[in-house]
Amino acid sequence: MAIKPLILFICCIFILGNLYATDRKTKKEKDNVLYVVDYIPMIAPNEFNFKLAGEFYISNDDIFSKEVISDKQRIKAVGYDDVDTLIVIITNGYHNRPEEIKRIPSFYNISINRKDGKIYPKDSHEPYTGDFINYYFFGKMYSKGKILNGRYDDTLTEYYEDGVTKKRSAVFKNGKLDGAFFQYFINGNLKLSGSYTDSVRNGYWVEWYSNGNVKRRFLYDNGKMTVVKEDKQWTELLEKADNFKKDGKDNEAIMCYENAIQLRPDISDIYYLKGKLEVRMNRYNDGIHDLNKAIKLEPYFNEAIVSRIVARAQRLESAGSTRWLKVNEDTTPEEEKQKICNDLKRIAQCHQKDRYIALDLDLPLMTKLDVLHFINEIKNNCQ
C-alpha cells in the first residue's frame, strides 16, 4: 500500500502552514500564476484545495487534462488581463459528470448577498431556488441540498470524497438548522447524532464509537449543554486535569486521568489525553500503552494513531535508546519499524476517503523536524 499521502498528512500538521502561506503570497506577486480547475478560477488557492506544503490536493489520478498557457493573447482572450501564466485543469470527476448534473449550480457559480444573507445566482437580483451540488477541488461531490428563496431548506448532506459515504447530514428550515443532525465515520457508522431547533441544539445528543457502541450522551436545553448524571464526575476530573496541565502540574493531571479511568474505563478520550501527556513527560512506554487502549476502543481515532507514531519515533530517538540521533547507523528494531508502518498504513487508508484530515501535535520545532526525518526513513522501507 502506498504511504505517500501520509507524509503529506504529517507535514500538514507540523510546520509548513505559515511558511507556505508567506511563500505563496510572494510567488503569486512574482509569477502571477492562476489555476483554473473545472472552469473555476482559484482566487484563494490555499483555502482548501492546496496542500500546506504548496502542492495541489489534486493528485495526478484526479486529473483528466492539464494545460499550461503562457501566451498573453490567449490569456487575455479568456478574461484574465493581469495573469502571466494560466494553468487549466479538468478533473476526472468533472469530465465524467453527466450534463444534467453539470447544470446544477454549486457555490462557485452562485453567490451570497452580504446584505440580506440570501443566496443569489451570479448576475441575478432574484434569490436562488432549487438544488445545488458542491464539489471538492479534485472533482468529487462534497455536499448537496436544496435552497428555497435564497436560504437552505430541507436536508443538507456532506460526503467523504468517495461521494457515497455520508460525512454529515442536517435538516434546515428557512435557512436555520431545525431537525435531525447526524455525523458519520468513514466506515459509514454514526459518530454523532442529535437535533436542532431554530439553529440551537436541543434534547439528547449521542456520541458513538465506529463499531456502533454508544460512547457518551449529552443533554441540551436551548443550546446549553448539561452532562448527564453518570458522566458528571469523570468530566469534572478531566477539567481538573486540564487546569493542572496549564499550571505545569503534570503529575497531578495524571492522577486525575487515572481516577477518571476508574469511573469510565470505556472512554477513549481519557486514555488519549493521558497518553499524550505521558509522552510529553518522556514516559514513552506508559504513553504508548494508553494510546493503544484509546485506539482499541476507537480504531478511527486518527489523532491517537498519529500520536502513537510520534511517540514510538521519539522513544527510539531519545537519549539512552538503542537508536539515538547521534548514532549514524540505523539500529531500529524491525518489530518497531513494522508497528510504525502499520500505523502509517492505517492513516493512509483514512486518507483514501478524507484527504483533508489535519491534526496538531504540540511538539517543539526541532523535535518535529527530528521526528519527521525519522518517520520518513521508516516510510521509505514500508511494504
- What would the DSSP string read from start to end of 306-364? HHHHHHHHHHHHSTTSSS-TT--S----HHHHHHHHHHHHHHHHHHTT-TT--------
Phi and psi at 182, nearest 5°, equal -135, 140
- Residues written for the chain: 383
For residue 189, how many other CB atoms are within 10 A of its CB?
Answer: 14
Question: What is the model's pLDDT at position 7?
Answer: 45
User: Strand 176-184 vs strand 166-173: parallel, antiparallel, or unpaired?
Assistant: antiparallel
Question: What is the model's pLDDT at position 160?
Answer: 92
CB 288 within 8 A of CB 275: yes
Report pTM.
0.80
Provide the edge-to-edge strand list for the sheet that holds 200-208.
Answer: 130-135, 141-148, 151-159, 166-173, 176-184, 190-197, 200-208, 214-221, 224-227
Summarised one tens digit per residue, pLDDT across range 65-121 is 999 999 988 988 888 888 888 889 999 999 999 999 999 998 877 888 877 889 998
**Domain architecture of the chain: domains with CATH:** 4-95 (no CATH), 99-184+188-227 (2.20.110), 230-296 (1.25.40.10)
Phi and psi at 322, nearest 5°, equal -75, -15
| 335, amino acid identity | E
Q: Across the strands, what pairs with 146?
A: 131, 153
Residues of the chain with pLDDT under 50: 1-30, 44-55, 324-327
Exposure string of 13-42, with b = 16+ CB inside 10 Å and e = fewer, is bbeeeeebeeeeeeeeeeeebbbbbbebbb
Angle at 291 (CA atoms; ends 287, 293), nearest 5 degrees: 120
What dihedral angle (degrees, nearest 10) is formed by the CA atoms of 53, 357, 59, 71?
Answer: -50
**If you write DSSP's letter for every residue of 289-312 in order, what string do you get?**
HHHHHHHHH-TT-HHHHHHHHHHH
